[in-house]
Amino acid sequence: MGWLEKLKEAVAINSYTRNKKGVDATGELFASWLAPLGYELRRHRRELIGDHWHFVAPEGGREKILLLGHLDTVFAPGLFERWEEDDRWVYGPGVCDMKGGNVVAVEALRAVHAALGRVEDVDLLLVSDEETGSDDSRILTSGLAKDYEKCFVFEAAGPNMEVVVGRKGIGTFEITVEGRAVHAGTRYAEGVDANLEAAQKLTRLVGLTDLQKGSTVNVGRMEGGVGANTVSPRAKLLLEMRYADNREKERLLKGLDETVRTAFVEGTKAVLSGSIQRDVMEPNPWQTKLIGAMARISGRSLPTESRGGVSDANIVASAGVVTLDGLGPYGDGDHTPHERALKKSFEERIDLMTKVLLYHQEHGVIE
């Protein structure tokens, strides 16, 4: 069974993040393809979401490599479940994000095993909740990352087959503002307007955005008040911050703290909740060295890019592992019913990773 047949079989299973049955069935499918390669399965079982699957290769004394992907997709059962293909493209949920990337990883491992009769020191981790922020798997991934020297993540490639060397960090926060309600017509001056305070905070927060430095603060939802004739007793702001480096992270967090602590409307109080979900993945010289080695080994040019979106590459890179992302096929329309992936990009990525992993098996390191 080639990559196309594998991908079609995987896409046929609905693996919406909260569809535990479907996510687990997808994991079992990938496990069936890896079983003949001698992998030990360490299945991290969960009750409410899909299990996380860690496939561990026999040890052979080489540097340890982690291949990383996720099993879940974004559409609930009945919303987007189809498979189509033409001469150039395949269409369906997960063809590029990221069942397609997982298939690239599996096919490269199978090719290495077919050539050498073994695969050693190259493990694969497939988590089940990346599309909802990796809230459950983040600790697992971060803990396992310490055992590896390098990590390859199989999210989609760029349009020119770019490898991803940078991803912004992201944090999501909620500010709850407390005021005091009074009748707006008879006791206005005695009220403490939570809506007005929230509006002042919104303006201050959005003002932290610096597009030249790649930093944004977006207040995506604002709510508050009880009616037109009542001074608002309560308001909420839901916001997201993204940043391209750690210096900007510290500036944004400082600005957020100052905004929460400052009462622009006397008598209001504010409470902050939320956290950094995935820290920044910054380009670094070790990536550059690895990309140079991969280009030499494969005979392919490997252009690079940075992205504003996040992935589990952020988690592994933050643990100090040399990490490259975008090693899946090229596709677009992900998270929409128009998701597609370019057929020839599968062949290119499988060939690239097969050559790189064969070199690793023979030389012990990728350099």
pLDDT tens digits, one per residue of 213-230: 999 999 999 999 999 999
Burial class (CB in 10 A: 0-12, 13-18, 19+), 78: exposed
Residue 1 has pLDDT above 80, yes or no: no
What's the average model confidence in pLDDT over 14-19? 98
pLDDT mean over 158-185: 97
Where a domain ends, among 254, 278, 302?
278
On whether both 117 and 74 belong to a single domain, the answer is yes
Q: Do 163 and 100 share a structural domain?
A: yes
121 and 227 inside one domain: no
The two structure tokens encoding residue 186 = 């008879």
Are residue 104 and residue 204 in the same domain, yes or no?
no
- CA nearest to 328, candidates 166, 168, 163: 163
Same domain, 271 and 289: no
Rounded Cα distance between 334 and 326, Å, is 14
Whether residues 208 and 252 fall in one domain: yes
Domain span at residue 94?
3-167+280-363
Q: What is the pLDDT of residue 109?
A: 98
Same domain, 184 and 230: yes
Q: Say what the pLDDT of residue 253 is.
A: 98
Choose among 70, 67, 73: nearest CA to 55: 67
Q: 125 and 193 in one domain? A: no
Q: Which of 243, 278, 313 is the last residue of a domain?
A: 278
Give the model confidence (pLDDT) of 277-317 as tens digits: 999 999 999 999 999 999 999 999 999 999 999 999 999 99
- Find how far residue 203's CA is from the centre of its chain: 29
Question: From CA 181, how far away is CA 167, in angstroms rounded?
Answer: 44
Mark whether 294 and 273 lie in a shared domain. Answer: no
Answer yes or no: do 30 and 161 share one domain: yes
Mean residue pLDDT of the chain comes to 97
pLDDT, one tens digit per residue, over 30-79 is 999 999 999 999 999 999 999 999 999 999 999 999 999 999 999 999 99
Q: Are 238 and 174 in contact (CB under 8 A)?
A: yes
Domain shared by 190 and 148, yes or no = no
Structural domains of the chain, count? 2
**Which CATH number do you get for residue 195?**
3.30.70.360
Where among 278, 307, 338 does a domain terminate? 278
- Which CATH number goes with the domain that contains 15? 3.40.630.10
The model carries a pTM of 0.92
> Per-residue confidence at 195, pLDDT binned at 50, 70, 90?
very high
Do both 95 and 211 map to the same domain?
A: no
